[in-house]
Structure 1
Amino acid sequence: MILRIALGAVLAAMALGQLASFDAMPTILTTYGLTSGAASTALAVALISAEAVTAAWFLARPRSRAARPVWLYTGVAAVWAALAAQAFARGLVLDNCGCFGTYAAQPLRWYVLVEDALMLLYAWLLWRGPRRVRAAPLTIRASTAAQTQQETH
Structure 2
Amino acid sequence: MILRLVLGALFTAMAAGQLVSFDAMPGILDAYHLTSGAGSTALAVLLIAGEAIAGVWFLARPRTTSRTPAWIFTGVSAVWAALAVQAYARELTVDNCGCFGRYASQPLRWWVLAEDALMLLYAWLLLRGSGNSRGLAPREHPIPARITTATHGKQEAN
TM-score normalized by structure 1?
A: 0.87
Q: Is 1:123 the counterpart of 2:123 in the alignment?
A: yes
Instruction: Could you tell me which runs of 5 or more consecutive residues in structure 1 were left unpaired when the two chains were aligned.
Output: 146-153
Show the counterpart of 1:70. Answer: 70
More helix by share: 1
Equivalent pairs counted in the alignment come to 141
Q: Residues 1-153 of structure 1: matches in 2 within 5 Å?
A: 1-130=1-130, 134=138, 137-138=140-141
After TM superposition, where is structure 1 displaced by more than 4 Å over at least 4 residues in a row?
A: none
Tell me the alpha carbon deviations over residues 8-40 of structure 1, each in whole angstroms, 9 at most, x when there is no partner.
Answer: 000011000000100000000000000000000
Larger Rg over CA atoms: 2
Shift of 1:112: 0.1
Tell me the alpha carbon deviations over residues 71-100 of structure 1, each in whole angstroms, 9 at most, x when there is no partner.
Answer: 110000000000000000000011100000
CA distance in 2 between counterparts of 1:47 and 1:80 reads: 9
The letter for the 2-side match of 1:38 is A
CA distance in 2 between counterparts of 1:107 and 1:13 reads: 19
The letter for the 2-side match of 1:129 is G
Tell me the alpha carbon deviations over residues 99-151 of structure 1, each in whole angstroms, 9 at most, x when there is no partner.
Answer: 000000000000000000000000000011136x736x229x88x77xxxxxx
RMSD over aligned Cα, in angstroms? Answer: 1.6
CA distance in 2 between counterparts of 1:130 and 1:52 reads: 19
CA distance in 1 between counterparts of 2:14 and 2:108 reads: 16
| Identical amino acids, percent of aligned pairs | 65
CA distance in 2 between counterparts of 1:55 and 1:127 reads: 15
More strand by share: 2
The letter for the 2-side match of 1:83 is L
Q: Does the CA-based 8 Å contact 2:65-2:130 persist in structure 1?
A: yes
Instruction: Could you tell me which runs of 5 or more consecutive residues in structure 2 were left unpaired when the two chains were aligned.
Output: 132-136, 147-158
Q: Secondary structure at the match of 2:97?
A: coil
The letter for the 2-side match of 1:14 is M
